[in-house]
Amino acid sequence: MEYLVCTGCGKRRDIDVFCARCPACGEPLEVSPPPGGAVRSDAPLLERYAAFLPAGALGLGRSPALTLGEGNTPLLHLERLGEQIGVPRLLVKVEGANPTGSFKDRGSAAGVQRARVLGFSRVGTVSTGNMAASVAAYAARAGMQAVVLVPADIPRAKLAPIVAYSPRLVGVEGDYGTLYGRSLELGARLGIAFINSDDPFRVEGQKTLALELWQQLGGQVPDAVVVPVSSGGHMAALLKGFEELHGLGLTGRVPLLIGVQAAGCAPIVEAYRHGRQAVERWENPATIARAISNPLPPSGNRLLRAHRRGAPLQFITVTDEEILAAYRLLAAEAGVFAQPDAAASLAAVIARQKDGSLEDKTVVAVLTGHGTKDLTPLETAGIELPTCPLDKLAEALAG
Amino acid sequence: MEYLVCTGCGKRRDIDVFCARCPACGEPLEVSPPPGGAVRSDAPLLERYAAFLPAGALGLGRSPALTLGEGNTPLLHLERLGEQIGVPRLLVKVEGANPTGSFKDRGSAAGVQRARVLGFSRVGTVSTGNMAASVAAYAARAGMQAVVLVPADIPRAKLAPIVAYSPRLVGVEGDYGTLYGRSLELGARLGIAFINSDDPFRVEGQKTLALELWQQLGGQVPDAVVVPVSSGGHMAALLKGFEELHGLGLTGRVPLLIGVQAAGCAPIVEAYRHGRQAVERWENPATIARAISNPLPPSGNRLLRAHRRGAPLQFITVTDEEILAAYRLLAAEAGVFAQPDAAASLAAVIARQKDGSLEDKTVVAVLTGHGTKDLTPLETAGIELPTCPLDKLAEALAG
């Protein structure tokens, strides 16, 4: 039987009541462990991993699952770059290859599919970037309306990749930080399925990244997986996926998960370093990695609890300079153009390698989004174009 | 034995001499037909289809092939949109899911791999967009220098997704139209492998799209494939792939290929309609679909010849209004955000369906690039953001 269970107090809840957080303690709910079974390699993501997902609640097998072709993203071994930074077995998981250019598509596929099965005609999300575009795209694919709540003062330029899918977009005036909780209340009242960053079904979709790594590595898991952390939902999903594989006896261990935050907004790292049980709101976030700049991560306490119970989690920060250096290295040395936020994972590998602890390890850096989704660093740096008359080109190129 | 053969005069050439066009007649060279054989499903693109490619010239099997995870892009059945436009079996091939966001990556993988095998340390291309980013990315991956020639007056904003990969970028002052031919001469002289739009090895890479469609459709080919046409290299590659599959006895027929040009720059369509043997330069191109705005397509005559010898090719134009309507439909109704140029293929399906000739057909519209690569239509239209105070949100969303 599938059910929801609170990651905080452990209380069980009926899976057929749409709900993201425990009414008793307020912590995120998650879905019960799956039965396991065969992977259907050629099927769309949700059907491929149906045996590892809440297949009943997602209506898998009853009608074709929602898909835009998410998942199955490249896992590249960056030999040269790895040698250069002292981690020869450096792999990157290129999540920017997903349909809307970010890892969010795995979770949106599951979340919107779930909302459709429950009969919702509207889905919603609170996001200023990747998740907004992703939910809007999957809603369009499903023939549902997407409600996207953004801060009223968001730069208009950031809206184009969201607006493309014609969602109902609302700029909310007021404290954006309280909107996560408020959206869940409003959704319950108005019949809008809000699929935020750590929604239980989004987490199910996001955990397919762990399953895919296991498959792509021929039934093995890497030594370490490095992932940028914002709300904490993605990292919690990876941990859930790896722990379930281990629980099913399919892997010998759970890999070390290293969560990365920007030094300019690192509430989880801060709580982790001080041994606190709860994250505290980060005042005045300031980082170029906007997609991971979440001052009060809704799944922060959940990750701290997982760490306390012995899950192999570590958390570190990287500076904007380190992020930008990794961002440039990835594109110029390996041909992989990732969002600055995504490059934070490579920056963390480089930072961690300084003590030599990763050099003999198989390390996967998760690149959460495609570089084209945020060109700010390149545009800010300014783009120079050396010019040359056509008849002088031979001389210019000979040099 | 692998060899190059002129698509114009039929003369054979040594495959080991890097050369794109026939020294005798000036028409594009192509690679000899492949032996055929098993597909290696889990391997990177070039290795996957090694039996259908010039495996010797590409050095396949000798060392790992160059890859950024290109190919294996989603083939989506758009049921609702298909019903809406009267083509229930409408499929889209989402080439924007490739590593740099366009179909060009298939060809760049093959072209740069070939240059590497021949010992070049520099590769080049003449492009203002997708191909420039793609060649720069694969050169970076291969540890080679990329030389990218763009017009000196190119808007700086278009350069960010190219500059990301740190190529040697040169803005060329003078007649950009002559640069294609000039780059080949210069390349031969200076030892730069220019991999332009219809380079023989680029064409080999691009033809994997045909192979992939055949595989994704379970060993069948669709009735029709609709593809935007710029240089003509991509369409020639698709034809080559399908004709080779047919020649190997693997398919019962070659599908109808419908090439689409923008009404504001349609030199191939114009020559086709008038039964000319050669394309004439299009004066004053004017279309929003800049990626397919090529006034003198280097593989234009080659497509006209293929048509004359009986290959199932058709050519049509669509207006910018039709392109923009298809662009909006795709994202808003199906959740697929494509470049305006790419949406020209859906616009052509809609235009062609007006006479009912596609309604019982399986039609694949090739969406050549991702919407995030050119946000111009959205930015030009202007982005409105309705706002609402947090405490009035319930009323706003209730409506």
pLDDT single digits (tens) B27-63: 999 999 999 999 999 899 999 999 999 999 999 999 9
**Mean pLDDT along residues B123-148:** 96
Query: What residues contact B313, with CB distance under 8 A and at least 6 apart?
Result: B235, B239, B256, B257, B258, B259, B303, B306, B307
Residue whose entry in the numeric block shows the structure tokens 């072709």: A69
What phi and psi, each to the nearest 5 degrees, are found at residue A126? Answer: -115, 110
Selection from A270, A260, A293, A267 nearest residue A365 by Cα:
A260
Token digits for A280?
A: 């505290």
User: B374 falls in which pLDDT band (50, 70, 90)?
Assistant: confident
Cβ neighbours of A331 in B, within 8 Å: 137, 140, 164-166
- Cβ B387–A72 below 8 Å, yes or no? no
Token digits for B201?
A: 């090895």
B364: three-class secondary structure by DSSP: strand
pLDDT for the residue B379: 86
CA torsion, ordered B276, B280, B284, B288, to nearest 10 deg? 60
CB A306 within 8 A of CB A313: yes
Indicate if the pLDDT at residue B174 is higher than 90: no
- Cβ B387–A169 below 8 Å, yes or no? no
- The whole-angstrom distance between B181's CA and the closest CA on chain A is 12
Interface test mutation site (partner B, options A337, A383, A384, max chain B beta carbons within 10 A): A337
Indicate if the pLDDT at residue B399 is higher than 70: no
Q: Which residues pair with B147 in a beta bridge?
A: B124, B168
Residue whose entry in the numeric block shows the structure tokens 């289809």: B49
Q: What are the Cα distances from residue B208, in Å, to A342, B203, B304, B339?
A: 30, 9, 22, 21
- The whole-angstrom distance between B262's CA and the closest CA on chain A is 22
For the segment B82-125, what is each residue's pLDDT rounded down to a tens digit? Answer: 999 999 999 999 999 999 999 999 999 999 999 999 999 999 99
Residue of B69, B178, B331 lying closest to A76 (CB–CB): B69
- The whole-angstrom distance between A255's CA and the closest CA on chain B is 24
- Tell me the average pLDDT of chain B: 95
Amino acid occupying residue A5: V
Among chain A residues, CA nearest to B181: A390
The DSSP line for B236-272 is HHHHHHHHHHHHTTSSS-PPEEEEEEETTB-HHHHHH
Residues 116-175, chain B: which have Cβ within 8 Å of A?
A: 136-143, 147, 149-150, 152, 154, 156-157, 159-161, 163-166, 169-175
Q: Is the CB of residue B1 less than 8 Å away from at least one CB of chain A?
A: no
Residue whose entry in the numeric block shows the structure tokens 């049921």: B79
C-alpha dihedral sign at A128, A133, A135, A140: positive
Q: Is the CB of residue A361 less than 8 Å away from at least one CB of chain B?
A: no
pLDDT for the residue A154: 84
Cβ neighbours of A192 in B, within 8 Å: 397
pLDDT for the residue A47: 98
Amino acid occupying residue B393: L
- Cβ A74–B99 below 8 Å, yes or no? yes
Q: Which residues pair with B182 in a beta bridge?
A: none
Helix extents (H) in chain A:
45-48, 79-85, 104-117, 130-142, 160-163, 179-190, 200-206, 208-216, 233-247, 267-273, 300-308, 320-334, 340-353, 376-381, 393-398
- Asked whether this complex has an ipTM greater than 0.90, the answer is yes
B48: three-class secondary structure by DSSP: helix
Residue of A74, A396, A398 lying closest to B69 (CB–CB): A74
What is the percentage of chain B residues whose pLDDT exceeds 90?
88
**Residues A90, A297, A213: CA angle, nearest 5 degrees:** 30
CB A20 within 8 A of CB A10: no
B26: three-class secondary structure by DSSP: coil
C-alpha dihedral sign at B370, B375, B378, B381: negative
Q: Which residue numbers in chain A have pLDDT < 70?
A: 399
Domains of chain B: 75-102+202-381 (3.40.50.1100)
A52: three-class secondary structure by DSSP: helix
| A244 vs B290, more confident | A244
- The whole-angstrom distance between B212's CA and the closest CA on chain A is 13
Amino acid occupying residue B168: R
Indicate if the pLDDT at residue B238 is higher than 90: yes
Selection from B99, B53, B52 nearest residue B370 by Cα:
B99
Cβ neighbours of A335 in B, within 8 Å: 68, 99, 136-142, 165
Among chain B residues, CA nearest to A394: B186
Token digits for A59?
A: 């209506």
- The whole-angstrom distance between A98's CA and the closest CA on chain B is 7
- Cβ A394–B74 below 8 Å, yes or no? no
Cβ neighbours of B333 in A, within 8 Å: 140, 143
Residue of B138, B385, B394 lying closest to A159 (CB–CB): B385
Residue of B174, B175, B386 lying closest to A171 (CB–CB): B386
Residue of B143, B165, B173 lying closest to A390 (CB–CB): B173
- Cβ B99–A152 below 8 Å, yes or no? no
CB B229 within 8 A of CB B313: no
Cβ neighbours of A388 in B, within 8 Å: 152, 170-173
Distance (Å, whole) CA A322 – CA B171? 31
- Cβ B386–A170 below 8 Å, yes or no? yes
Helix/strand/coil percentages in chain B, nearest 5: 40, 20, 40
Cβ neighbours of A162 in B, within 8 Å: none
Residue whose entry in the numeric block shows the structure tokens 């800010």: A380
Nearest-10 crossing angle of helices B208-216, B233-247: 50
Distance (Å, whole) CA A203 – CA A12? 17
Pairing label, strands A313-318, B387-389: unpaired
Helix extents (H) in B20-170:
45-48, 79-85, 104-117, 130-142, 160-163
What is the percentage of chain B residues whose pLDDT exceeds 70?
100
- The whole-angstrom distance between A306's CA and the closest CA on chain B is 34
Q: Is the CB of residue A331 less than 8 Å away from at least one CB of chain B?
A: yes
Distance (Å, whole) CA A42 – CA B367? 21
Residues 171-190, chain B: which have Cβ within 8 Å of A?
A: 171-175, 178-179, 182, 186, 189-190
The DSSP line for A352-380 is HHTTTTTTTS-EEEEE-BBGGG--HHHHH
- The whole-angstrom distance between B24's CA and the closest CA on chain A is 24
For the segment B239-279, what is each residue's pLDDT rounded down to a tens digit? Answer: 999 999 999 999 999 999 999 999 999 999 999 999 999 99
Among chain A residues, CA nearest to B101: A97
pTM: 0.97
Residues 236-275, chain B: which have Cβ within 8 Å of A?
A: none
For the segment B191-227, what is each residue's pLDDT rounded down to a tens digit? Answer: 999 999 999 999 999 999 999 999 999 999 999 999 9
Interface A-B: count of C-beta contacts within 8 A: 228
The DSSP line for A260-319 is EEETTB-HHHHHHHTT-SS--PPSS---S-GGG--SS-TTHHHHHHHHHTT--EEEEEE-
- Cβ B393–A164 below 8 Å, yes or no? no
Distance (Å, whole) CA B242 – CA B248? 10
- The whole-angstrom distance between A32's CA and the closest CA on chain B is 30
Among chain B residues, CA nearest to A42: B216
- The whole-angstrom distance between B64's CA and the closest CA on chain A is 11
- Cβ B164–A94 below 8 Å, yes or no? no
What b/e readout covers B286-324, taking b as 16+ CB neighbours within 10 angstroms?
Answer: ebbbbbbbbeebbbbbbbbbbbeeebbbbbbbbbbebbb
Selection from B115, B182, B166, B122 nearest residue A393 by Cα:
B182
CB-based burial of residue B328 (10 Å sphere; 0-12 exposed, 13-18 middle, 19+ buried)?
middle
- The whole-angstrom distance between A241's CA and the closest CA on chain B is 22
Distance (Å, whole) CA B260 – CA B257? 10
- Cβ A69–B73 below 8 Å, yes or no? yes
Q: Which residues pair with A93 in a beta bridge?
A: A75, A366
pLDDT for the residue A399: 67
Cβ neighbours of A82 in B, within 8 Å: none
- Cβ B97–A100 below 8 Å, yes or no? no
CB A281 within 8 A of CB A267: yes
**Residues B271, B276, B278: CA angle, nearest 5 degrees:** 80
Cβ neighbours of B47 in A, within 8 Å: none
- Cβ B370–A178 below 8 Å, yes or no? no
- The whole-angstrom distance between B282's CA and the closest CA on chain A is 22
- The whole-angstrom distance between B381's CA and the closest CA on chain A is 10
